[in-house]
A and B are shown apart, each in its own frame.
Chain A
């Protein structure tokens, strides 16, 4: 491949990946807004969807593979089906925190806003366009930073989809880099990585960072505000136009007295799709098989559980320390967050060439690195973006006046102020760590296979053997454990601090 061909190939691949990411982002945004608003505004929707989302969030990305591939590829063919399953897989890695972001920002709206909606009898569509959507803007902005990174991180997994012996490759930057790596094409590999860095860097500098700075008031980000303002103006204009047309159309419809119907949100339970795929009857042998998988799972679960929480604690310690540095040295803080944004976006497989030499001698270190890559960032962004911006000026002033400094400031002012963000980040980080166990505990690189044991390793081996039932059962048991821990431990801690740690 000469330089010209390489450039053309790279441009096409980059555009395709970017297109996939954008499509996944826009769909996630719509999904997050509709679901988040519905959950926050309707008790019934909330009581049904909240536990379902909790489960879906904790199902590892790999758990979606067989079901998604089966449905999309068998019904739409490998081209359109492959494309759709790729977008779907990216969505599964970026939509959850966006949904919970929208949900919690509307939940925390001042109750008098609800009275306003009720007293002036604002129709659903008006409440949606004028109140709930603008109210969740800052949370959408800050969560987009996390999601965008999550999307790139899973890009290679979403572009090179393998299930057993069958592998589907989609043209894109992720598959381009993997191919270059496999063919030992240093030139293509380096330019591919460079293109990836550029796309990530530029998207953060001109879109996500200024977007978040504008709507959350955080100052710890690097970004080109002027470039973003052009985009923001164009988007606001288009949005204003859409709102006006929607409201005008609604008024016409309302005048002829057609009642607006409620939006019914359907959730798909991927495990149920298994039957569609295999057309297997539910008989006794199936149950006993699932039970066997359960025993296998229990054997490996404790070691993964320990690793997961070790990673969460490490992530918390690192993030709090970095947050403190960012808080006291703003310029350094900006660089820290920017480096975080880029590092968190680098797809898992891109780290391999760097980690390969370490793998033989120090596999535990490599495993922990991969674990951290999939988990640290949730708590990092939560603490460094939401946390720091929630520190009240008046509290900082108070500590200056009374000369509260150093360790006392850290333990009595800084950490308690950030506690809601620290815990929210810790909760997401534990979910991320469970997901990351798949990539961290079973590493195949060329001829080298490193098996560290654990749930992730088990899932990997089952997937490689094409054991769909095994993958689904293990994912299911894993979700059960995650939900159980969330409901018994995390929910209690979060409930306890709510109300105590809100600075008035």
Chain B
């Protein structure tokens, strides 16, 4: 269940969320009593493969319903949610621009202003000039940029990212990480919070203000670690390495 409230200073609150489904006649529990708050910050959710991280993200997005518990948004209106998929999920029959404006048009935005917003976000992710290209004409990194631009174009309150860099080559992933951080830190877009699912510990530490560590299935919150390291960060900083080791301890 997703509800809205406005008295506290968090943006998203996940309260006692559990999720189970029936598989082969048996009940399989994926998430167990998950609770945490997300303020105006960058939060990473980390955990072993198949522990239900993506399910949790979809529950926050309102696409899936929890078996128990709820997700509360501290806004006076319905939250606008951007979602960066693990795979680019671009429609091959549409140009880059058309792919980005699709969610805007769906919410009733006039076509001309949708195009304007889409052009702006495409420029922000470094794809200015590629508006009329088709997905098949783009590289993997460029496709993922379109995926990000589409999520940003709707000016989301909360940006959810499902392992956004896991299918890119290391160099492209590195570049794209710092670009997303730049966009986030520059506040050129009205995104209040970012929640990213990943299983890359280093990526979580470098990018986030807070790392939520989940246990193997059924996933429970093992530990919430605050990453109080000044930005810009890089993997060679001793504080970063120390923090990575600390998180690894919980993960393993």
Contacts from A to B (Cβ < 8 Å): 110, 112-113, 115-116, 118-123, 126, 130-131, 134-135, 137, 244, 247, 251, 254-255
> Which residues of chain B come closer than 8 Å to A247, judged between CB atoms?
105
B108 close to A255 (CB less than 8 A): yes
- B interface residue count range (under 10 / 10 to 19 / 20 to 34 / 35 or more): 20 to 34
Which residue of B is nearest A251, CB measured?
A: B108
B89 close to A113 (CB less than 8 A): yes
A110 close to B89 (CB less than 8 A): yes
> Which segment of B11-19, B80-88, B119-127, B240-248 sits at the interface?
B80-88
Q: In the complex, what distance in Å separates the CA atom of A123 from the CA atom of B107?
A: 8
B81 close to A119 (CB less than 8 A): yes
**B229 interfacial by beta-carbon distance below 8 Å:** no
Q: A120-B154, A130-B91, A131-B91 are in contact. Are A115 and B102 (CB under 8 A)?
A: no
B106 close to A115 (CB less than 8 A): no
Which A-B residue pairs are the 8 nearest by beta carbons? A120-B103, A134-B93, A119-B83, A112-B89, A118-B63, A251-B108, A122-B106, A126-B106
**B61 interfacial by beta-carbon distance below 8 Å:** yes
B61 close to A119 (CB less than 8 A): yes
A116 close to B105 (CB less than 8 A): no
Closest CB in chain A relative to B217 CB, distance in Å: 21
Q: A119-B63, A134-B93, A137-B93 are in contact. Are A126 and B105 (CB under 8 A)?
A: yes
**B58 interfacial by beta-carbon distance below 8 Å:** yes
> Which residues of chain A come closer than 8 Å to B86, judged between CB atoms?
112
Q: Which residue of B61, B63, B102, B154 is within 8 Å of A126 (Cβ)?
A: B102
A-B contact pairs, 11 of them (CB 8 A): A110-B87, A110-B89, A112-B87, A115-B89, A119-B81, A122-B103, A126-B102, A126-B106, A134-B93, A135-B93, A244-B111
> Which residues of chain A come closer than 8 Å to B94, judged between CB atoms?
130, 134
A116 close to B106 (CB less than 8 A): no
Given contacts A119-B61, A119-B83, A120-B103, 19 further A-B contacts (CB under 8 A): A113-B91, A115-B58, A115-B63, A115-B83, A115-B85, A116-B89, A119-B63, A119-B81, A121-B107, A126-B102, A126-B106, A130-B94, A130-B102, A134-B91, A134-B93, A135-B93, A244-B111, A247-B105, A251-B108
Interface members, chain B 106-155 (any A CB < 8 Å): 106-108, 111, 154
> Which residues of chain A come closer than 8 Å to B83, judged between CB atoms?
115, 119-120
Closest CB in chain A relative to B4 CB, distance in Å: 16
> Which residues of chain A come closer than 8 Å to B154, judged between CB atoms?
120
Closest CB in chain A relative to B51 CB, distance in Å: 19
Q: In the complex, what distance in Å separates the CA atom of A135 from the CA atom of B89?
A: 13
Q: In the complex, what distance in Å separates the CA atom of A119 from the CA atom of B58?
A: 8
Q: In the complex, what distance in Å separates the CA atom of A126 from the CA atom of B89?
A: 17
> Which residues of chain B come closer than 8 Å to A244, judged between CB atoms?
111
> Which residues of chain B come closer than 8 Å to A115, judged between CB atoms?
58, 63, 83, 85, 89
A123 close to B89 (CB less than 8 A): no
Q: In the complex, what distance in Å separates the CA atom of A247 from the CA atom of B110?
A: 10
Q: In the complex, what distance in Å separates the CA atom of A382 from the CA atom of B191?
A: 50
A112 close to B85 (CB less than 8 A): yes
Q: In the complex, what distance in Å separates the CA atom of A134 from the CA atom of B58?
A: 26
Closest CB in chain A relative to B136 CB, distance in Å: 11
Q: In the complex, what distance in Å separates the CA atom of A134 from the CA atom of B91?
A: 9
> Which residues of chain B come closer than 8 Å to A110, judged between CB atoms?
87, 89
> Which residues of chain A come closer than 8 Å to B111, judged between CB atoms?
244
> Which residues of chain A come closer than 8 Å to B85, judged between CB atoms?
112, 115-116
Q: In the complex, what distance in Å separates the CA atom of A113 from the CA atom of B135?
A: 14
B106 close to A123 (CB less than 8 A): yes
> Which residues of chain B come closer than 8 Å to A119, judged between CB atoms?
61, 63, 81, 83
Which residue of A is nearest B102, CB measured?
A: A130
Q: In the complex, what distance in Å separates the CA atom of A112 from the CA atom of B150?
A: 15
Q: In the complex, what distance in Å separates the CA atom of A121 from the CA atom of B85?
A: 15
Q: In the complex, what distance in Å separates the CA atom of A115 from the CA atom of B108?
A: 20
Closest CB in chain B relative to A139 CB, distance in Å: 13
Q: In the complex, what distance in Å separates the CA atom of A27 from the CA atom of B91?
A: 27
Closest CB in chain B relative to A357 CB, distance in Å: 52
> Which residues of chain B come closer than 8 Å to A123, judged between CB atoms?
106
> Which residues of chain A come closer than 8 Å to B108, judged between CB atoms?
251, 254-255
Closest CB in chain A relative to B109 CB, distance in Å: 9
Closest CB in chain A relative to B73 CB, distance in Å: 15
Q: A113-B91, A115-B89 are in contact. Are A122 and B63 (CB under 8 A)?
A: no
A120 close to B105 (CB less than 8 A): no
Which residue of B is nearest A114, CB measured?
A: B63
Which residue of B is nearest A137, CB measured?
A: B93
Q: In the complex, what distance in Å separates the CA atom of A130 from the CA atom of B106?
A: 10
Q: In the complex, what distance in Å separates the CA atom of A255 from the CA atom of B103?
A: 16
> Which residues of chain B come closer than 8 Å to A118, judged between CB atoms?
61, 63
Q: In the complex, what distance in Å separates the CA atom of A384 from the CA atom of B156?
A: 48
> Which residues of chain A come closer than 8 Å to B87, judged between CB atoms?
110, 112
B89 close to A121 (CB less than 8 A): no
Closest CB in chain B relative to A249 CB, distance in Å: 12
Which residue of B is nearest A255, CB measured?
A: B108
Q: In the complex, what distance in Å separates the CA atom of A17 from the CA atom of B190?
A: 60
> Which residues of chain B come closer than 8 Å to A255, judged between CB atoms?
108
Q: In the complex, what distance in Å separates the CA atom of A118 from the CA atom of B154?
A: 15
> Which residues of chain A come closer than 8 Å to B58, judged between CB atoms?
115
Q: In the complex, what distance in Å separates the CA atom of A239 from the CA atom of B102?
A: 17
Q: In the complex, what distance in Å separates the CA atom of A64 from the CA atom of B57?
A: 52
Q: In the complex, what distance in Å separates the CA atom of A244 from the CA atom of B108?
A: 12
1/0 per residue, CB under 8 A from A, across B205-218: the answer is: 00000000000000
1/0 per residue, CB under 8 A from A, across B69-100: the answer is: 00000000000010101110101011000000
Q: In the complex, what distance in Å separates the CA atom of A126 from the CA atom of B94?
A: 14
> Which residues of chain B come closer than 8 Å to A131, judged between CB atoms?
91
Closest CB in chain A relative to B85 CB, distance in Å: 6
